[in-house]
Amino acid sequence: MLRFLLVAALLQASSAIAGDPNLSGPAAKPAKPLAGTNPPAQASATHHWYDGDRRRGLRVDERLRADFPEGKAVLTERPARTDKSLDGTTIAEAPADSPVFRDADSPAVKRALPGGVILTTRGPTDAASLERLLAGYGLSVARQLDADGTRWLVETAPGMAGLELANRLHESGEFAAAAPNWWRERALK
């Protein structure tokens, strides 16, 4: 009998709700995002680099920095942003390091700039020919990266210098590609 009374009460309540226009459901369907719009992460990109012909957005991770003692990356927390630190030196006077970047379209990926730009020439070339081409930029070749003579490393200081130079060389159109010599955090599987 109790079961019958509960079912009857629920049926009355559901019919009352169905009749109330405020409780019958949403008046309109939620809007879908427009096709072709950038996801929020892309909109927040503060820097970019070229991966071949594709321009990729980057965001600076304000909490981390990367130092490269002895060629290995060490991620550390950035000091709190203040005009002066406790020892009297300003943030601008901190030792050379690299900001840590996150890909705008894949924020889990951490990148840093240990120094250097990887150049890809349009065809095989020798070091002397490339040196003549790079002299106009005030640069020199560090070493050849492949047997064909199409990939070369150009040295830069760690940090933003490598990103800015890679973008400038890529946008010049004189090379097939120019990309920073990225350090990427390895994920354990």
pLDDT tens column, 120-171:
999 999 999 999 999 989 999 999 999 999 999 999 999 999 999 999 999 9
- Domain boundary (109, 127, 143) is at 109
Please give the pLDDT value at position 94.
47
Residue 8 counted as domain residue:
no
Supply the range of the domain harboring residue 99.
41-109
User: For residue 16, which phi and psi values (nearest 5 degrees)?
Assistant: -65, -40
pTM of the model: 0.67
45 with 96, same domain: the answer is yes
In 3D space, the residue among 164, 163, 167, 175 whose CA is nearest the CA of residue 134 turns out to be 175
- Please, what are the averages of pLDDT over each run of 10 residues along the chain (189 residues)? 51 51 43 40 77 94 88 76 46 64 90 95 95 92 95 94 96 96 82
pLDDT at residue 112 in the model:
95
Domain boundary among the residues 109, 139, 158 is at 109
pLDDT at 186: 81
Please tell me the predicted confidence (pLDDT) of residue 3: 52
Domain count, the chain: 2
> Are both 45 and 100 inside the same structural domain?
yes
Other Cβ atoms within 10 Å of 120 Cβ, number: 16
Q: What is the pLDDT of residue 9?
A: 55
Asked if residue 51 is part of any domain, the answer here is yes
The domain boundary, picked from 83, 109, 135, lies at: 109
DSSP state, residue 44: T
Q: Which residues contact 159 (CB under 8 A, 6 or more apart)?
A: 96, 97, 98, 99, 113, 115
